Each structure stands twice: as structure tokens, then as C-alpha cells.
């Protein structure tokens, strides 16, 4: 097979199991250089231009440091759309697509105001706006760099999303909305040891981790923020699903439901008309 494929594979194998490393190598070749898996297996890979070779070397250097391939190539796919990503924002996960689908289905044919709290790359807010053009979608984040990435994505994808710098933990009490959606930090610090080195080394810790002493800190704020909303939808830590449900019920919410993700884990919380 082609030399550039084997070069990528040898570097990616330092951090990933062989099957995953192969998938990542094919991802890079096709996403960046338009070289397909079929091209590689048929040994029909074209020669890279000088500029492409320079870019290839840069990507090899990045993944050689353990950088996730999505950061190395500069984008990730979410709901069939290409989102720019960098170490200032989390890489979108497949589970979060399920959260978007849940909210979009619930808001279908409704002209709601929607707030995405802790937007990161903007993947949730932008996907909801494109699925629900009749809705007004606002996205907030405490990070100016994250908001810059979200702004770039919104402009490129043609989504009219309102972006605001706000801290979920200090959210203004006079701001109201119909729907609150959030994928806040929920991974406990004690869970770091079981996570991939690429995640720990490159993804923003402020968007991932919470203290074991107060793991529901963001959900406490979300429960207050959403008290006047028609519905609240959150992604959550499966190990803390019941505690999160009890927290919302203690705040007076009715019809608090925990939904499983495609892998059978308790992954989402939703409330309706409390």
C-alpha cells in the first residue's frame, strides 16, 4: 500500500489501537487530500503536490504529538455538516447529535426561543437553527475563543444564531427563553485516568471536567435558569443520571425524564411543562 498511508498509520498507532488508527488514517487522507480507501487498497494514490506535502507533514507532526485527528485536520462532522474545531472547543460527539434530534423533534412547527448554554463550537445551536429556521436560537459561552469558533461555523453554514458571552454559573435572572438545551461539563476529575490521552492532552478541560466535590455544579445553575422555560434538555454523565434527575425534581420540575443514548446509557435529561 501507499507510503503516505503507512506513514500516518505508524504515527497514529502510537496512541490508538490498530483498527482505530486505520480509520483515522483513512479519515485524514480522504478529508484533506481526497484520497479514498479504495485508492489506497488499489495502490493508486496520486503524488502529493508540494503544498500538499507540506500540509501532510504538519498533520503528521500534530498527530505525532497525540493531537486528535479532528483538531489536526481542523474540522469534525456533526449532523452531516463540517464544523471547524480546535483545542478551544470540544470535538462534537455522536451522542450530542441525539440531543439535537430530541430537541428538534420536540420543537417541530413551533416558533420557540431556544438557548444553547455552553455552546463551544456551536454545533448544537447551529444544527437546531438549520433544522428549525422559525425558531430564534441564542448560544452562549464563557470562552471568547469558543465564541469566535462558533461564529465562524455559523457564518460558513448560514445559520442566523445569536452569540453571547455568558457564564452558566452566573446567568442573568432576567433572561428568558422557551427551550434550554445544554451539554455542560460533566466528567468528574476522578474519571481522567480512564480517558484517552488525546482527550486529556488537547481538549479544553474547562468544557469537560468538574470537581468530584460538586459534580452537578452546572446542573444546579441550569435547573434555576430553566424554571420559566417550556422544556429543558441536557446531556449528562450516565453515572450521575439519577442524582441529576433528583436535583431537577427538588427544584420543582415535573415530568423529569432520563433518556438513553444509542449505546444504552442514561445520557439525556428532559423536562416538559413543569
Model pTM score: 0.95
Intrachain domains 3-73 and 76-272 with the same fold = no
Q: What is the CATH number of domain 3-73?
A: 1.10.8
Q: What confidence score (pLDDT) does residue 44 get?
A: 86
- Beta carbons of 218 and 210 less than 8 angstroms apart: yes
Note the residue count of the chain: 274
Report the topology of domain 76-272: Rossmann fold (3.40.50)
In tens, the pLDDT along 91-120 reads 999 999 999 999 999 999 999 999 999 999
Going by the DSSP 8-state scheme, the letter that residue 121 receives in this structure is T
Specify the 3-state DSSP secondary structure of 151: helix
In tens, the pLDDT along 113-172 reads 999 999 999 999 999 999 999 999 999 999 999 999 999 999 999 999 999 999 999 999
Q: What confidence score (pLDDT) does residue 193 get?
A: 85
Extents of the domains making up the chain = 3-73, 76-272
Amino acid at each position: 500500500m501507499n507510503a503516505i498511508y503507512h506513514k500516518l498509520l505508524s504515527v497514529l498507532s502510537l496512541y490508538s489501537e490498530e483498527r482505530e488508527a486505520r480509520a483515522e488514517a483513512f479519515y485524514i487522507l480522504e478529508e484533506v487530500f481526497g484520497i479514498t480507501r479504495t485508492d489506497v487498497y488499489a495502490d493508486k494514490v496520486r503524488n502529493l503536490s508540494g503544498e500538499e506535502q507540506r500540509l501532510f507533514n504538519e498533520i503528521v507532526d500534530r498527530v505525532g504529538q497525540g493531537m486528535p485527528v479532528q483538531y489536526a485536520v481542523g474540522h469534525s462532522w456533526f449532523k452531516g455538516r463540517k464544523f471547524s474545531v480546535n483545542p478551544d472547543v470540544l470535538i462534537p460527539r455522536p451522542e450530542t447529535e441525539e440531543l439535537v434530534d430530541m430537541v428538534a423533534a420536540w420543537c417541530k412547527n413551533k416558533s420557540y426561543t431556544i438557548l444553547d448554554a455552553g455552546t463551544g463550537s456551536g454545533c448544537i445551536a447551529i444544527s437546531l437553527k438549520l433544522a428549525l429556521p422559525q425558531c430564534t436560537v441564542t448560544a452562549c459561552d464563557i470562552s471568547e475563543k469558543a465564541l469566535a469558533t462558533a461564529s465562524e461555523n455559523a457564518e460558513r453554514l448560514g445559520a442566523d444564531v445569536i452569540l453571547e458571552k455568558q457564564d452558566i454559573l452566573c446567568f442573568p435572572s432576567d433572561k428568558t427563553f422557551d427551550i434550554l438545551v445544554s451539554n455542560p461539563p460533566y466528567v468528574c476529575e476522578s474519571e481522567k485516568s480512564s480517558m484517552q490521552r488525546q482527550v486529556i492532552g488537547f481538549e479544553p478541560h474547562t468544557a469537560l471536567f468538574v470537581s468530584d466535590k460538586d459534580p452537578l455544579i452546572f446542573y444546579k445553575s441550569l435547573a434555576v435558569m430553566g424554571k420559566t422555560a417550556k422544556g429543558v434538555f441536557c446531556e449528562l454523565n450516565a453515572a450521575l443520571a439519577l442524582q441529576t434527575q433528583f436535583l431537577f425534581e427538588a427544584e420543582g420540575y415535573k415530568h423529569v425524564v432520563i433518556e438513553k443514548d444509542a449505546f444504552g446509557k442514561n445520557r439525556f435529561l428532559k423536562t416538559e411543562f413543569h
